[in-house]
A and B are shown apart, each in its own frame.
Chain A
Amino acid sequence: AQKVTQAQTEISVVEKEDVTLDCVYETRDTTYYLFWYKQPPSGELVFLIRRNSFDEQNEISGRYSWNFQKSTSSFNFTITASQVVDSAVYFCALSETVNQAGTALIFGKGTTLSVSS
């Protein structure tokens, strides 16, 4: 069965610290996609990144970076120089084939990040 594990339930850091959120996944699919979402206190999930299983290049977007390692089935997310506005719940997700017609996302349980000033 497909599964996403985010072992860190809560992380607290002080502003300007770097922080890495871990994500480990299980899938039997050879083609799959991985995602990260941010959920601020308002509740709406904000899409951050999508990565396909054939592209293991790391990606950087501003203070955000992602490390995809197929060998360890991990897709970790690092925030550099964290800010208070980064405080949120972060979800890692994996695409799952739900029938012949399409896919759905399965989510990890999320990591709550608290950044204090």
Chain B
Amino acid sequence: DGGITQSPKYLFRKEGQNVTLSCEQNLNHDAMYWYRQDPGQGLRLIYYSQIVNDFQKGDIAEGYSVSREKKESFPLTVTSAQKNPTAFYLCASSPGHWTEAFFGQGTRLTVV
């Protein structure tokens, strides 16, 4: 089935560790996005990528890094520089400008 797959669904991290969240899509979409969701805050844009080997910072990029080596994949690394990483992370893709974004099922990250 076509769609966006995020893994893992739940992730626990010790303070000071980097962790990488996986996002894969088989929709042949050019654009991919990472959003962070906190209770009562809606979704905030972390990073986005319009094409392979190119990505841009969103509103809250500090403490995060991404790569886009393949069209299908857009992994997000939460680094130790991110002071409050506990949140729900959603990956999305879209086929072009002005179109709706399709979302994965999300990864819930908890710092322990």
Q: Which residue numbers of A lie inside 8 Å of B, CB to CB?
A: 6, 9, 31, 33, 35, 37, 42-45, 47, 50, 52, 91, 95, 98-99, 101-110
Contact = CB atoms under 8 A, between A and B. Distances in A.
Contacts of B106: 43-44
A94 B50 CA distance: 18
Interface stretch (B18-26, B37-45, B61-69, B71-79): B37-45
Given A43-B88, A44-B106, A98-B56, A105 B101 contact: yes
A109 B41 contact: yes
Residue among A44, A104, A106 with most chain B CB within 10 A:
A104
Interface residues of B, number: 29
Interface of chain A: mostly helix, strand, loop or mixed = strand
Given A43-B105, A44-B103, A108-B42, 10 more contacts: A43-B90, A44-B104, A47-B102, A91-B43, A99-B50, A101-B50, A102-B48, A102-B50, A103-B97, A105-B45
A109 B97 contact: no
A47 B92 CA distance: 12
